[in-house]
Structure 1
């Protein structure tokens, strides 16, 4: 990408978006030239709307060069300079961007001058482009794409362009989300996605405008916080899950696998994505069976994928991470598996979030508040249990890999000595 193309977009970026066909011609010097054919379809093309009498280009000819040489006389110097991508240097008005669209692999793009749009020229080196496109994690990119779809739908309803978006459009979008009582965290992601779209394409960022900043601050001050109704899974609830798992119709193999998953996600303060991504090589059990360690290759707070080791000590009772892992490894080894994902059921399917949640809901089906439990209830329960046992705040943050005081939102129905914090 040389910086003269914006996209791809999943929806038309303009209401009157014109999509023209692409062509490819071989260069005499080697390689190929991609052409945006603005003359098709004949009779209804972009070029058909341009007056040939008023806007027909005239090029310098060899006769013009000879005439200049004759006029200057003997001894004059003549040079020829070839400007690469010359037509890309011709400015295009932003009002005409909608006329320069094309479609590739089901997505829409816009081509326009890089000089006028003040693009930062990107290297054609594929590695540089790869680095630019991967400045955020795949999960963040998916969240941004989902957010942009919401913004695009809004802009299409309002019949305004979403890229580049105006400050007034972003302000209207913030007000629209406030009227819909959208969660503050959701709107924050929406604005981050809009900002990322403009920054990556080196367009003026409307989100940075002071008006947008003040509008979002007002949103944060006035909107009603949504009460988190999720319940914690504490040791007592875990015992209930264990009892229901034992009498379930699952085979013995699956019972061992799921119980290990339930114990590990609780004792390790894990997120569901961190748990289900564990592989055999990430698990290490001490020789004296006093400790089990597992390495998180990536997590929400480890965007650079440096990895993080979680250590769980042996415990008495049925909620013992060491014994749960040892049983899990035994049945997995017995099935002939020695590598790959740790959590695989008897049908050789990698356990997904929906499968995990389905078994959890089944085990809690008789609980009066079963709808208020989900995969994050284990992490909430781990923090709540630690606080009830007067574990110092810094240890709770360390165990849950929290970098701020947001861990306090996970602690439910417990009075903690402020001196510990």
Structure 2
């Protein structure tokens, strides 16, 4: 039963159990590498044994005339001696299951796998490793199927389609140093909120940044500063840069006027980001709550700020990451911030049925990176956020 629970639910349960530790503001100093979620189907073993010892809940189809154990023994003996570099297979299998964990692919859908899952996992790696390496990973997953007694998961024409797509993307997208970040989800946000002390100015500032970044699809550098004394130099968001308006129906919305952004030309004025009223996770309420806590009437102080010893300070990127990642790491959630917040908001809007082009424009994307995320999202068998517990969102 545990293997079929949604990943976000398992994370929520785990994070509630570490409330006291998280509130102590004592996160581990550095985020650990991504870890596979525990599973009876993936016993702890050496990398070169994974292709044999890792399995799934589905029984393989019968491939013998009788149940004589001799046939099964001979088949296993032949399969094991046919394997080449088993360590490479083990590394590829680990990456495959990490992808499945991050995108909440249930155990029974991993073996046998599907064209949608395998192509999605392939597209997520493009730009981080070469096309040949991606195809080797697919070959390893295919071999794993055979060793476990299943047919190869990709038909020849499906493999050709994957090759064709990867070849084209490799021509126009340079290799990245790191893979795309897994997206933040609504349930992740709710889990983080449980551990934040919203009577604290700093935690309230962190919460406002999370919601504005998620629903506004903003870059973390647009919401935080590199150093506590570089706010003016970086032209960070001030209180005067936040305005509230109402649409024709009388519904309130907020405008964040960026003076400095990645897609804003030098001397090009400002760039507006719209945030709208949500239900239980409302960025406008979070900003209003923060301003009431910090107090004061100076409109030139940082919008996302907190005071210490009577001095109003901006939230730095490092302090924000330390606080949020401390909660996530303690809960064993395989997310570290970068574009996780930004792409999480985009993924949420897409799962709500918002037009792809509208999401791209609202998120101010101009590069191929957005198309890669969208392609992987569309090929997922089930979207990340499709349950009725997700609140209906307004986009701009």
Which protein is bigger by CA-based radius of gyration? 1
Greater RCO structure (CA 8 Å; 6+ sep): 2
Q: What range is the shorter-chain TM-score in?
A: 0.3 to 0.5
TM-score (norm 1): 0.42
